[in-house]
Structure 1
Amino acid sequence: MTDPTPIRLSHLIGFCAPGAIVRSADMLMVPMDTRYWTQNGQPKGGAIVRVKRLQVALGIGDRPLHFPPTGRMEKAGRIVGDTLPAVRFPRWMHCEHCGRLYYRLWRHPSDQDLYCTHPDCRRKARLAQVPWALVHPNGYLDDIPWFWLAHRAPKGDVQRHCKDRDSLVWKENTLRCDTCGAHNKFWAGELTGEKFFYGYRWMQQQPWLRERVPVPELEQTLPVAREIGDVRIYEAHTARGLVIPPESRITDASPRVILEGMPAELDLLRTLRAKNAKQFGRKLANLARKLRFAPEALVGALDEIDSALDTDPPFSGDLLGEEFKALTTPIPDLREEEDFITEHFTTQWHGLAGASAWSGQVARIIGLVDRVVAVNRLREIVVYKGFERPAVAGPDIECRLVPPDIVGRQNWLPGLELFGEGIFISLKEAIIGAWEQNEAVIRRCHTTARRLENHGEEDLPRYMLLHTLAHLMIRQIEFDSGYPAAALKERLYARRAKGPDAPMAGILVYTAVPDVAGSLGGLVELARPERLLAILERAFTHAEWCALDPVCAEHDGQGPQLLNRAACHACTLLPEPSCEVSEAFGNTVPANTLLDRALIKGVASGGEEPQIAPLLEWVG
């Protein structure tokens, strides 16, 4: 494959990352692993710097983060920069008219090879890649073994020793070989059966790798066929966090940041400093001249980098707790080049309560919200940890997390930095703490908690309340700001007081893009108290009613794993990129779950469910 296909940078560490099946304008393909993102053993993409504390919090230790390689296409199709290799997959193509199967036709340069060339095919139809793939929960992906299926039960030596891959026909639920006459009849639905490929032992590990899957693995768990669009074929595992003080206050122009962005030079300086003072001085002088810094400044930067973990304020490793503290604490002497800039409107928000115009529901909303903060600038780091292929479900089947380089030997991880803005609110702890101890609330959330595997339910009422409110806010902001819902994201801070850990009840709604200039500023304008109040008022109003009520409101469980109660596409659900729940629960919970409008609007008496007072009635 030589024609380049552009892919968004942010997609390269998500649903277009290595191992995913990517659809371009005219083909399906799979990007190859991150071993092909390097040159001379070093990653082609630049280093992501000022993220030491985030690395600790995300559990990746001292493994550096690097951007994906990038390039751009100029006029006449000339590529400037890097390209990433991918393989066309599935490799089998199919004629929908005559049923003929073709294998890897693109090995030949002629475009005519993409059309059926069999003499018995009167339409000579354009070929399409077959819409099926063979998947294994240990992360393996391969073509459906059409030749093996056709010759699965050979009759005689001719069929048993047939080697002709170019004579297969799949039509009218029958797969046959025109060379030897072998055939196998099955429905398309049978192809996805969990035991359909019993006895097959020749599965490749990945479409671009020649290594085969060890036979014991295939015997322990059988591979299954899945349609190309099935979400169970590929699930990216990412982790994300915000860069907060003190690292957010270090500017990109500082010697420390520039040196951290040159890992090869940094390692060489460390080595020479320890072993050869003369060469260290020479190298330091050359590098200082190149970067236009004084040698003393580079020595100071080197010392600062090596002692950063000792000199920076102690870090608890509690990422969300540290972010919540940064969001709720005013930062003095902010500079516009910093990566975390907040503007607090809490005083103005509470000042609204003194206006006589506010009463009823609006006054209660003012009393419910504790803090209001506009995040004028934020920097989010997203790390790609690998992928799973959860093709087969079962209590005894555990999916394997495949690292970005497949073999798990690289000492770095791909990542991305996004810049944007957001709105943060926190709810009053006294109100939320009393609400979540209500017996009716506990009983309602217990129904959902029983369906969660290996997750405690202590914080679940609080989390479901904040999660539902965040979804309603995003749906309303979509109307008020012009941002599509898919461009907005939520980040939830939900925790009861636990020992030294302070309680949290906060919602950050934000947008972030790879452009260092960030977004356009329209979102933070909505953080101004009067405009935010209008958004929250409409969000609480929309929680009262759904177009599918009373069916939606009275549901005992709906959506994936029945993890939603009163929540559906008509009232609460968002595009999956906006929802944090899957990542927050370690990819064990599907997106758009743990939602329930009833926790906001309440449950009336007289039904099967215990009565729950509306949330705003808890506001004194």
Structure 2
Amino acid sequence: MTPPPARRSRRTGGGSAAPRLALPRRGSVRRSQMITTYGVGSLIAVDNESFIVSGIDDAHRSWSLDEAPIIHEHRLARVLGVNHFRLPPASEDTSKDGVRVRRFPLWHSCPSCQSLQHIRDFNPPAGKNVCTDCDDEPLVPSRFVVACEDGHLDDFPYWKWLHRKNREEGATGRCGGQMGMRFSGRSASLRSVIISCTCGVPEVSMEGAFRRSALTDLGVRCEGRRPWLEGAPAEFCTQAPRTLQRGSSAVWQPVLKSALSIPPWSDGLADKLSEHWEALRSYSSRMEIEIYLKGAFRGDDSVSVDAVMELLEAEREEDPAQESDSDAGATSRYQALRRQEYERLCSGNALRDKGREEQFICEPPVSDPTVLDPFGVGRPMLVKRLREVRALKAFTRIADPESGSEGHEAALSLTPTDWLPAMEVRGEGVFVRLDENRLDDWAESIAVAARVERMRTNHERMLRERATDPAEVPDSPATPRMVLLHTLAHVLINEWSLDAGYPAAALRERLYTDATMAGFLIYTATSDSAGSLGGVVAQGEPDRLAEALRSALRRAAWCSADPLCIEAGSSGIGGANRAACHACAMLPETSCEHNNILLDRALLVGTPEDPSVGFFERILTG
């Protein structure tokens, strides 16, 4: 990871593998963290310094192909409107270049002389972060930053905070004094952080800086700054700025989109055709395609005309071009992508019919699935091999990606690019599907509908509050079917984390819920040592799955926070949960697709007053 140069070099890399500039290195992170934790626009602490990860405008030049290879996932690329994806470069001692970062925040304090000012006023040597007046004492980056829900980020306005009651009406400019920051040590609260100035104004603490209207009351508005984008002009912004801790998770949250590689795109042929799609789409007859392939793949018999024709036909059926660019249109495209995966998970893809290059192997278990009939669970599918591509589409600040509309998403680059950073992971999993007729009968219950309607109302209110355009607020996905499947996936992951030896953070859910889908995939798609070991597929055998479901439901019937948990009218972010907490139904954030909202274990096991609300009530009382 390297900070940007102070000025541009006259020479460019010319496509060579060597770095273009001799830039200093500042720490290292895992590749997967560049998508999920330290992506573009995020703040990263390295020793006693703080940086913001730069945008990807020039990354295609600085990232060499041998260290940042191209990733292909045709279906996801079409939905996101890009040609391909790039894996972030390796950050090892031997790597030739890395991800560029920029120093942020720019306001620092010196713990020795207690001076608080812009870093340039400390006059540190190039590449260093020290106070020259205090024998090179390391400076401390500001603990506080200012952000808004449109993704803008700026330094905290210390001068305005200190002088808020000591400026003449209409006065402009600074007081000319030297600001300082000290800690009284009386407590660990913001009241102990004292800001002062030599101009003689009374000292003030940072207490109250995190109130929602604290900065607005001072007349501070969002300046529309985007420090992660070099040369980006300030944008006009009407959002209210908020004070945040520099290390808070609210400062940066990724907007991730993912897709499974499924037939006919999962055998590697689509990767070979990545540079030829535009030409192939222009041909309408089989003869034209055959002539083109003979010229483009001379001597390569692995690219057959029939396979290419099948891919082109599949692409036409999946073409998202007719959808609009609104939030509703984007949601429809992602839902269509999920529906294709659901159909393939239901039909399967046997190993005996495919070669070694196949990235998706899905088979039914050999044993009798009738043991699952009392649970209303159909025949499970064992996904023995899968590949998932997770792309960083954008990011949000303050508003979480689940409840924020696309209008709040901050871009990764100043100008549109034809690629996005992504990671490729492989694993295994189990696909579970519930009986749709039994689901529909259960969902018709007045009590069930009432519980879910309250969650849906709270969620839609949260969506309206955070929407850029109230006229285009996306509908809440909360339905009895969705909440039931979501909660069931959570309790099953918790059960398998105890029984299969996998940590809950190494398991992920993938929900397939709408009027035509009723299933979920639990899988281990992770790039670390808890990857594909066969343990999850083994849990999908009907006998073991039935035992796990029975145990998971018994655990869900009682929570250590009961009776408060089971009787909760609303809980979680924005009241979008009912009976769900970290002691019973919630998972690590990396495992849940919906940020631990839209959960209610009462829909699984019922309530003490009305057990019939639970879909599996008969299992517990039988």
Tell me if both proteins adopt one fold, taking TM over 0.5 as the criterion: yes
Question: What amino acid sits opposite 1:378 in the alignment?
Answer: L
> 1:341 aligns to what?
361
Match for 1:328 among 346, 349, 353?
Answer: 346
How far apart in 1 are the matches of 2:583 and 2:314? 51
Give 1:491-510 correspondences, 5 Å limit.
491-496=510-515, 503-510=516-523
State the shift of 1:29 in Å.
Answer: 1.9
In structure 1, distance between residues paired with 2:256 and 2:449? 31
Change (3 A) 1:452 1:166: same
Q: Structure 1, residues 570-601: CA drift from partner, whole Å, max 9, x if none?
A: 111110110012xxxxxxxxx11111111111
Deviation at 1:306, TM superposition (A): 9.4
* Deviation sequence 1:231-276 (CA, Å, 0-9, x none): 332222111121111111x23xx5x63352xx4xx599999x9xxx
Give the equivalent residue in structure 2 for 1:579: 592
| Distance in 2 (alpha carbons) for counterparts of 1:245 and 1:455 | 31
Q: Distance in 1 between matches of 2:482 and 2:520?
A: 10
SS in 2 for 1:314: helix
Aligned in 2, Cα 1:311/1:152: closer, same or farther, shift over 3 Å? closer
Write the mapping of 1:239-278 to structure 2, written as runs, cut at 5 A. Answer: 239-248=257-266, 250-251=267-268, 257-260=271-274, 263=275
Q: Distance in 2 between matches of 1:329 and 1:259?
A: 26
Instruction: Measure how far apart 1:560 and its partner are.
Output: 0.9
Residue 474 of structure 1, CA deviation: 0.6
Contact kept in structure 1, 2:27 and 2:46, CA below 8 Å: yes
Which of 70, 82, 85 in structure 2 is aligned with 1:66?
85
> 1:516 offset after TM fit, Å?
13
Structure 2 counterpart of 1:480: 499
Instruction: Summarize the Cα distance change of 1:340–1:475 in structure 2 as closer, same or farther, 3 Å threshold.
Output: same
Give deviations 1:447-495, integer Å, cap 9, x for gaps: 1111121565786111111111111011111112221111110011122
State how far apart, in whole Å, the 2-side matches of 1:53 and 1:36 are. 25
Partner of 1:19: 41
- Provide the rounded CA distance (Å) in 1 between the counterparts of 2:99 and 2:241: 28
Q: For 1:226 and 1:116, how far apart are their aligned partners in 2?
A: 29
Deviation at 1:34, TM superposition (A): 0.7
2:598 to 594, 601, 605: 594
- Change in Cα spacing, 1:110 to 1:166, as seen in structure 2 (3 Å) is farther
Change (3 A) 1:211 1:478: same
Q: Deviations over 1:481-538 (max 9, x none)?
A: 2211111100111222xxxxxx222121011134899622222122222222221121
In 2, distance between residues paired with 1:533 and 1:310?
40
Distance 2:562 2:529 in 1: 44
Q: Secondary structure at the match of 1:342?
A: strand
**Of residues 385, 394, 414 in structure 2, which corresponds to 1:386?**
394
Quick check: 1:30–1:88 contact (8 Å CA) kept in 2?
A: yes
Contact 2:57 2:415 in 1 (8 A): no
Cα offset for 1:324? 1.3
Q: 1:412 aligns with which of 399, 411, 419?
A: 419
SS at match of 1:232: helix
Amino acid at match of 2:263: P
Residue of structure 2 equivalent to 1:471: 490
Deviation of the 1:66 alpha carbon: 1.8
User: Which of 234, 239, 254 does residue 213 from structure 1 map onto?
Assistant: 234
Aligned to 1:198: 219
1:588 maps to none
Q: Which amino acid aligns with 2:507?
A: L
When normalised by structure 2's length, the TM-score is: 0.76
SS at match of 2:378: strand
| Equivalent-residue separation in structure 1 for 2:418 and 2:127 (angstroms) | 42
Matched residue SS, 2:578: coil
Mapped pair 1:142 → 2:154: yes
SS of alignment partner, residue 550 of structure 2: helix
Question: 1:92 Cα shift?
Answer: 2.4
- Structure 1 regions of 5+ residues with no counterpart? 274-280, 354-362, 497-502, 582-590
Contact 2:35 2:391 in 1 (8 A): yes
| Deviation (angstroms), 1:539 | 0.5
Q: Distance in 2 between matches of 1:23 and 1:31?
A: 11
Structure 2 unmatched ranges of 5 or more: 4-23, 185-192, 284-290, 320-332, 461-472
Separation in 2 of the partners of 1:311 and 1:558? 43
Q: Give 3-state SS (helix, strand or coil) of 1:247's partner.
A: coil
From 115, 138, 144, the counterpart of 1:100: 115
**Alignment check: 8 A CA contact 2:447 2:613 kept:** no
2:377 matches 1:364: no
Question: Secondary structure of the residue that 1:450 maps to in structure 2?
Answer: helix
- Which residue of 426, 429, 433 maps to 1:422? 429
CA pair 233-94 structure 1, distance change in 2 beyond 3 A: same
Residues 1:90 and 2:105 aligned together:
yes
Does structure 2 conserve the Cα–Cα contact (< 8 Å) formed by 1:441 and 1:599?
Answer: yes
Change (3 A) 1:465 1:555: same
Call closer, same or farther: CA 1:125–1:546 in 2, change over 3 Å.
farther
Shift of 1:323: 1.2
Deviation at 1:100, TM superposition (A): 2.4
Work out whether 1:29 is the aligned partner of 2:51: yes
Shift of 1:378: 0.6
Q: Distance in 2 between matches of 1:324 and 1:113?
A: 53
* Percent identical residues: 28
Shift of 1:171: 5.5
* Match in the other structure for 1:616: 616
Root-mean-square deviation over aligned CA pairs: 4.1
Q: In structure 2, what is the Cα distance between the partners aligned to 1:396 and 1:64?
A: 26
Instruction: Describe the superposition over 1:51-104 as per-residue Cα deviations: whole angstroms up to 9, x where unpaired.
Output: 333334xx323x21221341242xxx4x32430111232222334576322533
Quote the offset at 1:422 in angstroms: 0.5
2:603·2:615 contact (CA, 8 Å) conserved in 1?
A: yes
Does the residue aligned with 1:552 lie in a helix, a strand or coil? Answer: coil
- Aligned-residue offset at 1:322: 1.4
Residue 113 of structure 1 deviates from its aligned partner by 5.6
Match of 1:309 among 290, 309, 312: 312
SS in 2 for 1:23: strand
Distance change in 2, residues 1:602/1:34 (3 Å): same
Rate the CA distance shift 1:424–1:211 in 2: closer, same or farther, 3 A.
closer
Deviation at 1:567, TM superposition (A): 0.9
Rounded to whole Å, the distance in 2 between the matches of 1:455 and 1:47 is: 33
Verify: 1:231 aligned to 2:249, yes or no. Answer: yes
Q: Please tell me the residue identity of whatever aligns with 2:549.
A: L
Deviation sequence 1:385-409 (CA, Å, 0-9, x none)? 111223699x99995322211x242
1:546 is paired with a residue of what secondary structure?
coil
Q: Is the 8 A contact 1:372 1:424 kept in 2?
A: yes
Deviates more, 1:63-72 or 1:96-105: 96-105
Kept in 1: contact 2:224–2:234 (CA 8 A): yes
Aligned-partner Cα distance in 1 for 2:529–2:355: 16
Deviation at 1:137, TM superposition (A): 2.7
SS state at 1:22 partner:
strand
- 1:460 is matched with 479
Distance 2:165 2:148 in 1: 23
Confirm or deny: 8 A CA contact 1:147 1:168 kept in the other structure.
no
1:327 Cα deviation from its structure 2 partner = 0.8
Is the Cα–Cα contact under 8 Å of residues 471 and 572 in structure 1 kept in the other structure?
yes
How far the C-alpha of 1:415 sits from its partner, in A, is 2.2
CA distance in 1, matches of 2:124, 2:384: 54
| Amino acid corresponding to residue 485 of structure 2 in structure 1 | L
1:168-191 C-alpha deviation (Å, 9 max, x unpaired): 44566653333x445663533236
Which residue number in structure 1 is paired with residue 470 of structure 2? none
- The 3-state SS of whatever aligns with 1:474 is helix
State how far apart, in whole Å, the 2-side matches of 1:514 and 1:40 are: 24
Q: 1:136 to 1:613 in 2, by over 3 A?
A: closer
Mean CA deviation greater in 477-486 or 529-538 = 529-538
Alignment match, 1:586 = none
**Residue in 2 aligned with 1:294?**
299
Q: What secondary structure sits across from 1:328 in the alignment? A: helix
* Cα distance change of structure 1 residues 28 and 201 upon mapping to structure 2, 3 Å threshold: closer
What SS does structure 1 have at the residue aligned with 2:497? helix
Structure 1 residues 246 and 222: alpha-carbon distance in aligned structure 2, compared to 1, 3 A threshold: same
Aligned mate of 1:563, from 564, 567, 576: 576
Q: Deviations over 1:370-429 (max 9, x none)?
A: 121111111112122111223699x99995322211x24223222222211101111112
Secondary structure in 2 aligned to 1:245? coil
Partner secondary structure for residue 458 of structure 2: coil
